[in-house]
Amino acid sequence: MACDTALYAADISTIHSFLFRNLVRPYLHLLKDESGDDLVAHDLVTTHNEHYVRYDHLKEWLEEYGEGKLRNPFAADKLQYLKKRLREQTVSIGADGHACYVSLEKSDGRENSISHLLSPDRLLSYNRRRWPKGTIDHDDVLYFAHRLLREHSPLRGFLSARFPYLFIDEFQDTSPVQAELVRLLASEGTVVGVIGDPEQAIFGFLGAEPKHFEEFGLDGHRCYRIDDNRRSTAAIVSLVNHVRSDQLTQKAKRGEKGKTPVVYFGDLAESLAHVRATSKHADSMLVLARTHRHVRQARQSGKMPGKDPSSDIARDDPDRFRFIKTIAVATDLAQRGFPDLAIQHLLQQTSSRSGFYKPLIYSVSDTPIERRSLAVSLLEYMVTHNAKLNRTH
C-alpha cells in the first residue's frame, strides 16, 4: 500500500512536461497583455510542440518591421537563414531578471542586415503571433512558467506544497531559466537534489553550459561526488580519467579490465563503415545518433555516397519538407512498436485547432475527430506500403 501511495505522489517526466501539466496549463489564464486581455488563448492550449515557422506569422512580423522584402526570391537564402535562427531561439534570463527570448548563435557576418530582428523584444513580438490560436512550443512553456512564478508568487507556494521534493538528473544540460525556476521552488521550501556531470554537457547550443551546473547552489546545500565507477570496465574508466578536464579521477569497481577502447574521429558514415568492416560484431552493433540527419548517415554508411536531396527540398519547399519528415518519423515510431506516439506526433506536426498546416489541403470539417482520422489514415498507408517495400527487397 505504501508503495502504491508513493507511486501516485511521484511525477516523473521531462521538466517541460512537468511545468506544462502542473503550472502552465492550469494557470495560463492568469497571464495578461498590456491591455489586460489574455496573453494566450488558454482554452485552446492542449499541448506544446516543436517550433514551426508559419508563413502567415512570419509575413506579418516582417512587414511590421519593414522587412517584407525578405520574402522576395532574390533574398531566399537570407530568409531561410532567418527561419533557421527563429527555430533555434531559446529562453534565457535577461539583465532585469525577467525571462526573454534570445538567439544564441554567434553572428558570422552573413546576417548583419537581419540581426536587428533577433533582439529579445522583436523575438517576443514574433512568438506572440501564434498564442491567440492556442499554439505554444517547448520554449514558451519555460517563458510562461517563469512569468507565472514571478508575477503570481502564491503559485510558488502551491507548487512547492504539491512537490516537496524535486530531483533533476542530467542537470549539466539545464538552461539558466530552468535553474531559476528550481531556485524559485526551493525558496518556498522544496527540497532540491540535482545530479549531473559538467563534462557530459551537450546542449550548449540551447544555452546550457557546464558553468551553470558548477555555479548552481542553494542555501545549506550539500555536495557529493561519486569516486567509484561500477558501470564500466577498468579500461574505459582509465580512458575517461585521462580525457576529463576537471581533475576527477574515478576508480573502477567491477573488477574487470576489459578491452582497450578505440576512439574514431572524422566523418560519421566513413567511421561507421570502417568499424563495420573490421568488427567481429558488426551485425549486433548499436549506434546512438543525435539527429535524424545523423541517423540517415549511419544507415547509409558503407553504401555509395550520393547527394542528399533533403537539403534542397528544405530550402525550396520547407512546408513539404516538414510534412515528409513528420511522416517519416511517425512511420518509424509505429514500426518500432509505438503507434500511440506516432499518431500523437502526426497530430502535433500536421494540424492545430486553427486548421491543417501546409501543404495539407483538407476539405472536410476541421474537428478533433477528423484530425485524428487523417493521422491514422496517413500512418496506416505509410506502414502498409513500407512493409510491402521491405518484402519486395
Q: pLDDT, tens digit, for every residue of 26-74?
A: 999 999 999 999 999 999 898 888 888 888 889 999 999 998 888 887 7
Q: Are 77 and 202 members of one domain?
A: yes
Q: Are 96 and 245 members of one domain?
A: no
Q: Are 248 and 297 members of one domain?
A: no
Q: Are 112 and 18 members of one domain?
A: yes
Report if residue 220 sits inside a domain: no
Mean local confidence (pLDDT), 283-298: 75
d(CA 358, CA 66): 25
Distances (CA, A) of 249 to 202, 230, 237, 252, 348: 21, 14, 9, 10, 45
Domain stops at, among 157, 184, 215: 215
Longest dimension (CA), the chain: 68
Report if residue 320 sits inside a domain: yes
134 in Cβ contact with 43 (< 8 Å): yes
Q: How many domains does the chain have?
A: 4
Task: Give the contacts of 102 (CB within 8 A, at least 6 positions apart).
Answer: 89, 90, 91, 92, 120, 123, 207
Taking 90 as the threshold, does the pLDDT of residue 212 lie above it? no
Q: Are 337 and 190 members of one domain?
A: no
Q: Are 119 and 58 members of one domain?
A: yes
Q: Are 119 and 209 members of one domain?
A: yes
Pairing outcome for strands 251-252 and 228-229 = parallel
Q: Are 197 and 110 members of one domain?
A: yes
Q: Please report the pLDDT score of residue 207 as a whole number.
A: 58
> Residue 165 pairs with which residues in a beta bridge?
191
Confidence of residue 1 (pLDDT cuts 50, 70, 90): very low
H helix runs in the chain, sequence order: 2-9, 15-19, 25-27, 55-64, 76-87, 120-127, 138-151, 154-162, 176-186, 210-215, 234-243, 268-278, 292-300, 310-316, 318-335, 339-350, 368-392
Coil vs helix vs strand at 164: coil
Distances (CA, A) of 358 to 81, 205, 342, 362: 20, 29, 19, 10
Report if residue 4 sits inside a domain: no
Report if residue 2 sits inside a domain: no
Q: Are 40 and 83 members of one domain?
A: yes
Taking 50 as the threshold, does the pLDDT of residue 333 lie above it? yes
**Which cell is 24 given?**
502552465
Q: Are 281 and 145 members of one domain?
A: no
Report if residue 237 sits inside a domain: yes
Coil vs helix vs strand at 49: strand
What mean pLDDT value characterizes the chain?
84
Q: Are 233 and 93 members of one domain?
A: no
pLDDT one-digit tens code per residue, 116-157: 899 999 999 999 999 998 889 999 999 999 999 999 999 999
Report if residue 1 sits inside a domain: no
Whole domain around residue 231: which residue ranges?
225-261
Taking 80 as the threshold, does the pLDDT of residue 307 lie above it? no
Domain stops at, among 215, 250, 272: 215
Give the phi and the psi of residue 70 in degrees, each rounded to 5: -65, -15
Report if residue 52 sits inside a domain: yes
CA nearest 140: which of 308, 269, 20?
20
Domain stops at, among 156, 180, 215: 215
**Which cell is 53 given?**
515557422
Q: Are 90 and 126 members of one domain?
A: yes
Report if residue 184 sits inside a domain: yes
189 burial type by CB count under 10 A (0-12 exposed, 13-18 middle, 19+ buried): exposed
